[in-house]
Structure 1
């Protein structure tokens, strides 16, 4: 596969280099023909101009010496990209993944192997988001609806001088449509489809006068999720194994087999993975003079989506159910099960045993075992609700001890997110060559969500969050275009506040935590970017340009953190915090310079080559999800330098567009993370007393690094070799945690990207892209990102006079390479997979309406878009989020 792609890439490069030699004398004729073609049918040419603002100056995407994918709203619709989370499928070396249920509402974006999974405010993204030049600082709440979008720009590689803050692997710039002064128009779009899908969109553009216009739009989307939530007891009876249900109650009378009522035919009680969204947007554009333009917009959205469609893929049944297992090839207790079942012993969690045994019947123990693994990746018994009320007591259970501060966590299976913002942009032409732009915006987002993640109707661990953030950002920008030099200088300011209130319940560990995090980020920066053209000044080196930039950034984060562990006496109604509770204030400050140097050369008007070196950074974060005191730890900042060469070419009268690049990124510093286990302390004690158990503490750390043996880990207690328990390191109980350590240097990240669009004849369009990223192996196998990403599509527009319009069938293919999720256990890799989408569109030119039918995941491929391997951290289960199964839709669009 790699040899074929490498050969194809070399062939393409050879074609690009050869093209000017064979056609240099024909440039004028080609340009004239292309210009004539554009005038004749600009909307029919696949490789038309897309104007982007990635360099802070409106420029044709083919003239920007940056690895950038720019896609229009129409192209996104054709390729069935319906949300921000779908965008990664068409961008090489990028993944956009909807966050798992335990992370709430968000999209994890990774570009060139660097990204972020956690949505909480303690973590910093690697990709900067901008919506109409307004900075969006968090992963949380980032599953944007593509409402009234003109186009989207995805910039790959560090963008330290252009976008600055947390743009170490790239930036996403979404550009909305402006109100038009001369277009009185409206539109209505409707979609119906699988799982009761109903989407409605409408908008109107109102020219008020020759220099004032307003645009109004709205969207309503609703679709039932593709993950079925089953009533566990109902399903056990329906399966013919009622003894496996123990005494666990039915969820409702509709799914009950009790009392001689009519037996239910289905045990489905709810769904996960669906959406329910309402949004509206209003914009005003005013141009009182030819050199002054003001754009003001406001938007509001409310989403009450179902939680993410998480699926338990494996259970550590020694921990959860006392099913003893042997050692694996690495000597860890994750081998085959022996068939022996016990109530206690090495690696067996007493709290989980007593919790589930609470529903046992004589002769059939009720255990957290394989009975909770359904036979479909699209079903689960997870209810995201603790069925036991607060104050409940289970004898011998270290969590349910009768305290009113424990149990009863049930916050529903929806994730409400309220999101609204205002922004304004004032453009003033100071002279014919110099322009000023002032940008100001504010936004507020709030949500609450609760999630369990063990795949059972009981609770191993429960995450609850109430998150709120608001911020405002401002930017003052001056641009100049003087023929021989283009320049952009600016000042940037950002000020925000975020609040996170959490109530993590850890039944297995016997802890109940209440935490409050107040997060106050501020940032300011000044930047200058310059492009020089020596030919315009000195009359030589026509087509050669030099570009460079510099940015000075100062970032501050003040964190006020409280994590109180419940140490209230059993049955108590008065809260008593444990002495192991954590209180700290953490000021984080980072000041740095970023720079970029580059050059590009236009071999012809249609072919450009370029090269650049640039830097980028990501701010340090800290771990907010802790199991006990002492696990709060600040992470280390990440910084790197990137080197990139590339080309952009429009060939054969713009019937073939090829854009390609190769990159090499070297870290100067990054945060390393080592996952292991440490002694568990007794949270109910007034002193930090290590809990007795059946494990032994050993030194550990990342192999072949300076940190090898610097951290700790635990293995099963062996009396023959460990001796008697000593209460400190031998014969203890352990709990999972992570350690952070600084890494300088190490393996670079390298790879390439190639994008192509081909229109061999009128109306036949094919597109293709490939990306390859090699992240090295200094810290073990790279995780959560594929080495290879490919996608392609083809469509043909048929003229059908009898229908007074056109028919356009389209087929798209998306291929994702193998993804590793555990450094040492390849069996948890997600295999490479392909997904196909199909669409047929009818356009009526006379009456200006469109009807389309589409299918996503045409061949109903089953795969996981992401996985989380918890069992190798000594926890109970592994999770995966399956991709959406085959779905269909019908749409109708009308323009007025």
Structure 2
């Protein structure tokens, strides 16, 4: 019977909101073979094994085992995800050596991700990340809202190093693939998981797989989660770190013909959380511009400690933040011939992230506040046009659409290929309006004369001032409109001359980017005071404007860039279970604009520190480029009881994008293509079955990263001011997995895990502050004890698990900053010891 391919014409006629796709999407198996095993059955196979398991991945857009995939990667199947307690992207940093994940200072749901030292120091809607995140093949373009738990997560793949040829732009550091469980046509099954843990943490995950007909199945899954933070807010509002999340997901699979598949997915997530509060460690002793006038008072209203405190306080009511996302995904596959298939991948996603942060001193002071809450002081009334300025939660929002068409197949029994075309567009922005409070403080008497000397015209006005103060206000609106298109291909040839042991793979990708941005911004600083007039007592007076910034009024910027990203891989099978490879890979990160730049352009005058840097927001910065050579070995020995994988790499940076603070300011930065850098290192992945059921494993990463050249405006090489951040020299994960008892009633399994991350540098402003943002090396001990395969009925089983994280209750900072007005070092602490009980019921 002739095949029908009318779906292609149908897709091309769909509305824009439904013609969806994704860059770097993963392959899917068009027609399912044997149904997947019940999760308990899969776990049992792993527990009883006397050899190492084989993990299948789709890292190179084809189904292959990790051992057959010639790149450095970490793969986590459902069993390993459960053992290590991985719920989402935020949990990967401690479990993947060479990968660092930190929360953004202003939003704990926004993640800064680094692999092999390659990442970003800021999170702006006009700047792209360096590590690509993919959810079921759908590229997540923004870093905001990534710290989410995922319902029904089945597999995670972390690809190290540049992935430009297959995954496209913004993969200079690597890529992360998150894959959820697909619907099965085989039979009805369900899973219910309940968790109760420390700090009133409870979690419920539910999944139903329902075959409706012989060729149609749906899967419904949901998540409810509640957790209290570990630092109490003794001031007004919520506690730091509290979070509430719910998520729902619908998946459908339809097989209208033997060779055709239609997969659709809808997901919706809502996270309400209270941001972490930065705890002061070291008082500020370095210049901070305007902040120097109130530094003594700010420090008197702040708390400092080198250990994690159980209580801190805010002056204004501490407000919740909210991150909400939804997505549609459509995948159509058709086997045109025995060795030729066509696939269309589409996606639409929407994100809204409302962020409330408090950067005050943690002592509950209302005289010194750094937040965006309402303010009714004299300056607030003046800035608000006669009424106090309102509470404002700055918002990041984004809509993205993408489409991809792939043609893949095999020619002459020796050449596999994939050809594709890709299109992506997004619109979004950052909104921080109307005019709202940023900080207010009283002036220390010792600093009042210093301020009056700087502004002599205010001396007479403030002659009789009592409790003079400063206040600042913002109002901003940032918009983006970006498009990206690409043509790509990958060709893998296995010549017969080497007994089919040699495999050559060539990847090519040509990309075109068009980026537009618009910025409106105004900042105004006020002096406010109470005057003691003769016979009048203390009389409030309106505030006086101290200064204002150059106003950005719908300033527009645009740029167009193109990039060619080739890759070449040579793989040789040394033996039946040993393969060596060498690869050359390239990637680029899109150019963009810096919304925190106080200069409009190079012709608009000096920046906020009085220096004319010769460029500003309008000029933006061009793409950065990375190229890397990797040499690796993947091997298994002793009848698959011993595994040893090794990868070494050398990476070169060109036109590296760098954000640096403007001295004497709190939030003003400049962004430029700083220069060149080099990185080299090695990664080891080893595992050994000591005896049936007892497995030890070790993953280790070594990294040496150095910026070689950064030329400043005076022609000096200031590379020492640009160290690689979040690039620990050493990191490792060591594990012991022991199935120590199996009988008809249960399978008992113990898991012990040690995670170590070495010293790493933080964001540096000046040489004398280099060590203030550094994170010392630390190690965490985690454990899990599980009894699985407990029979409930003939078709259902129960698993009971006890787990503990950070069992030694190690105190360690997740991230640090050095630019708060009251502190040269302030940190967000990592999670203390947590203990939990988990029940999982499976029915099939």
Cα deviation for residue 99 of structure 1 reads 2.8
The 3 A distance-change label for structure 1 pair 44 and 435 is farther
Please give the alpha-carbon distance, in whole angstroms, between the structure 2 residues aligned to 1:495 and 1:348.
41
The answer to whether the aligner puts 1:642 opposite 2:583 as a matched pair is no
Please give the alpha-carbon distance, in whole angstroms, between the structure 2 residues aligned to 1:133 and 1:596.
21
Tell me the residue number matched to 2:240. Answer: 272
Note the 1:508-657 alignment, pairs <5 A.
510-535=471-496, 539-566=497-524, 580-583=550-553, 584-625=555-596, 630=607, 632-633=616-617, 634-657=620-643
Note the 1:460-539 alignment, pairs <5 A.
460-462=369-371, 464-482=393-411, 483-502=413-432, 503=436, 505-507=438-440, 510-535=471-496, 539=497
CA contact (8 A) 2:816 2:825 kept: yes
Please give the alpha-carbon distance, in whole angstroms, between the structure 2 residues aligned to 1:436 and 1:575.
64
Note the 1:391-790 alignment, pairs <5 A.
412-456=318-362, 457=364, 458=366, 459-462=368-371, 464-482=393-411, 483-502=413-432, 503=436, 505-507=438-440, 510-535=471-496, 539-566=497-524, 580-583=550-553, 584-625=555-596, 630=607, 632-633=616-617, 634-677=620-663, 737-745=668-676, 747-778=677-708, 779-780=719-720, 781-790=723-732
The 3 A distance-change label for structure 1 pair 348 and 735 is closer
CA contact (8 A) 1:120 1:140 kept: no
CA contact (8 A) 1:227 1:380 kept: yes
Aligned length: 698
Structure 1: tracts of 5 or more residues without a match: 1-37, 232-250, 252-268, 319-331, 335-345, 357-366, 388-409, 679-733
Cα shift readout 1:305-336 (whole Å, capped 9, x = no counterpart) = 221253222222x6xxxxxxxxxxxxx779xx
Cα deviation for residue 44 of structure 1 reads 3.6
Tell me the residue number matched to 2:826. Answer: 879
CA contact (8 A) 2:128 2:590 kept: yes
CA contact (8 A) 1:504 1:514 kept: no
Secondary structure of the structure 2 residue equivalent to 1:499: strand
Secondary structure of the structure 1 residue equivalent to 2:498: coil
Cα deviation for residue 610 of structure 1 reads 0.4
Please give the alpha-carbon distance, in whole angstroms, between the structure 1 residues aligned to 2:569 and 2:800.
46
Secondary structure of the structure 2 residue equivalent to 1:75: helix
Secondary structure of the structure 1 residue equivalent to 2:164: coil
Cα shift readout 1:840-859 (whole Å, capped 9, x = no counterpart) = 10113433110000110000
Cα shift readout 1:709-755 (whole Å, capped 9, x = no counterpart) = xxxxxxxxxxxxxxxxxxxxxxxxx777434443443x411101011
Cα shift readout 1:813-856 (whole Å, capped 9, x = no counterpart) = 00110112245446433221110001110113433110000110
Cα root mean square deviation, aligned: 2.9
Cα deviation for residue 800 of structure 1 reads 4.5
CA contact (8 A) 2:277 2:828 kept: yes
Please give the alpha-carbon distance, in whole angstroms, between the structure 1 residues aligned to 2:401 and 2:69.
29
Please give the alpha-carbon distance, in whole angstroms, between the structure 2 residues aligned to 1:113 and 1:295.
36
Please give the alpha-carbon distance, in whole angstroms, between the structure 1 residues aligned to 2:642 and 2:115.
26
* Aligned match for 1:294, one of 246, 262, 266: 262
Cα deviation for residue 460 of structure 1 reads 4.5
Cα deviation for residue 554 of structure 1 reads 0.8
Cα deviation for residue 41 of structure 1 reads 5.2
Note the 1:124-523 alignment, pairs <5 A.
124-231=128-235, 251=236, 270-316=238-284, 349-351=292-294, 368-369=299-300, 372-373=303-304, 376-383=307-314, 387=316, 412-456=318-362, 457=364, 458=366, 459-462=368-371, 464-482=393-411, 483-502=413-432, 503=436, 505-507=438-440, 510-523=471-484
The 3 A distance-change label for structure 1 pair 628 and 614 is closer
Please give the alpha-carbon distance, in whole angstroms, between the structure 1 residues aligned to 2:55 and 2:742.
29
Tell me the residue number matched to 1:830. Answer: 775
The answer to whether the aligner puts 1:807 opposite 2:748 as a matched pair is yes
Secondary structure of the structure 2 residue equivalent to 1:759: strand
Structure 2: tracts of 5 or more residues without a match: 1-41, 373-392, 442-469, 529-540, 601-606, 609-615, 709-718
CA contact (8 A) 1:272 1:307 kept: yes
CA contact (8 A) 2:798 2:839 kept: yes
Cα deviation for residue 461 of structure 1 reads 3.2
Please give the alpha-carbon distance, in whole angstroms, between the structure 2 residues aligned to 1:282 and 1:575.
55
Cα deviation for residue 52 of structure 1 reads 1.6
CA contact (8 A) 2:153 2:180 kept: yes
Secondary structure of the structure 1 residue equivalent to 2:727: coil
Cα deviation for residue 382 of structure 1 reads 4.3
Please give the alpha-carbon distance, in whole angstroms, between the structure 2 residues aligned to 1:487 and 1:504.
57
The 3 A distance-change label for structure 1 pair 676 and 420 is closer
Please give the alpha-carbon distance, in whole angstroms, between the structure 1 residues aligned to 2:624 and 2:126.
15
Note the 1:9-20 alignment, pairs <5 A.
none
The 3 A distance-change label for structure 1 pair 622 and 312 is farther
Cα shift readout 1:59-92 (whole Å, capped 9, x = no counterpart) = 2222111111111122011112233211121212
The 3 A distance-change label for structure 1 pair 425 and 524 is same
Cα shift readout 1:584-643 (whole Å, capped 9, x = no counterpart) = 101022111110011000112311110011111111233323568746532342102111
Please give the alpha-carbon distance, in whole angstroms, between the structure 2 residues aligned to 1:807 and 1:858.
21
Cα deviation for residue 451 of structure 1 reads 1.1
Please give the alpha-carbon distance, in whole angstroms, between the structure 2 residues aligned to 1:585 and 1:792.
51
Please give the alpha-carbon distance, in whole angstroms, between the structure 2 residues aligned to 1:567 and 1:106.
29
CA contact (8 A) 1:522 1:556 kept: yes
CA contact (8 A) 1:68 1:155 kept: yes
Larger RCO (alpha carbons 8 Å, 6+ apart): 2
Please give the alpha-carbon distance, in whole angstroms, between the structure 1 residues aligned to 2:580 and 2:637.
14
CA contact (8 A) 2:244 2:272 kept: yes
Please give the alpha-carbon distance, in whole angstroms, between the structure 2 residues aligned to 1:104 and 1:282.
27
Please give the alpha-carbon distance, in whole angstroms, between the structure 2 residues aligned to 1:222 and 1:313.
30
The answer to whether the aligner puts 1:76 opposite 2:81 as a matched pair is yes
